[in-house]
Amino acid sequence: MQPQFSHIAVIGKSHTSSSHAASTATGQPILTSLVDFLQRQGCHVVIEKETAAQWENHACPVMDVAGIAQHCDVALVVGGDGTMLGFGRQLAPHGIPLIGINQGRLGFITDIPLDQMEAALEPMLLGQYEEDHRILLHAQVWRGPDCVFDALALNDVVINRGASSGMVEMRVSVDGHFVANQRADGLIISTPTGSTAYALSAGGPLLQPALGGLVMVPIAPHTFSNRPLVLADLVEISIELVGGRDASANFDMQSMASLQMGDRLVVRKSPHHAVFLHPTGWNYFDTLRHKLHWNEGGS
């Protein structure tokens, strides 16, 4: 049978120990093994530009994200959730789905274990998979009439206090309606995807990815009654910095904007979705149970 995905981009972790240097059980480097497998399935393989820069001995074409968006049907990402977040944001506007092969730790969205890579991918290439759409946030930092920073986030947008300063004070509005002045170490605006990340450690709820909602979670709030708030994903959230020094806005903890007094962070749902593909039978609750070690010792 011909594969459903004939042109495939391979992306490897590029910021720590490189994926091509790590080995499979057979002793072959992971990316080399993956490319060999894909080519045996009749697929045309390209290597993402940053991945190729760390992997000299390959014979595949090299493309940047724009080239991948134009020429490829799917992207295979070998790494951890951080790698998937970065390329998920970049490829979402182009509608390119991603498959995650887990070389990280938790792996909420990079869910195929390395030792099951070929067995999981073979039916997926033939069209047997679960399709999983995830919303993104579009965030802008406004300084007076000027937008000084503009970014997408797949997990969350976070306002943090400065490392050497006290709490920040924020004026929070939703759809133009004043909600509260919050004093805290920071504030998280999270998608359902990000509800298992920083928002969870700050006491926020878990949101099923199919849910049309966002969660706003204060970080160590001054007032105990400032609790996590679940909002519809159609709202516009505006956060004005009215107190505190050296605050910053972080986007998936991978890009950052320094904030000045009076700056407004405006967050809304992006029109783009990240599309993740999982092996047939994948279920979000199975992932939670496994990754969060629920019911350990039970049946």
Active-site residue numbers? 81
Cα angle: 258, vertex 204, 159; to 5 degrees:
5
Q: Is the dihedral of CA 81, 277, 48, 113 positive or negative?
A: positive
Written as six digits, the tokens of 253 are 């903890």
Give, for 225, the enclosing helix (H) or strand (E): none
Q: How many CA atoms lie within 13 A of 135 on its CB side?
A: 26
Long-range residue pairs from 29-35, CB within 8 A, at least 24 positions apart, any chain: 30/78, 30/103, 30/114, 31/55, 31/58, 31/78, 32/58, 33/117, 34/10, 34/76, 34/78, 34/101, 34/117, 35/10, 35/60
Nearest residue to 155 (alpha-carbon basis) of 192, 119, 126 = 192
Q: Is 177 helix (H, G, I), strand (E, B) or coil?
A: strand
d(CA 152, CA 110): 20
Residue pair 87/65 in contact by the 8 Å Cβ criterion: yes
Using N-to-C axis directions, what is the helix angle for 117-125 and 30-40, rounded to 10°?
30
Burial 124-148 (b: 16+ CB within 10 A, else e): bbeeebeebebbbbbbbbbeeeeee
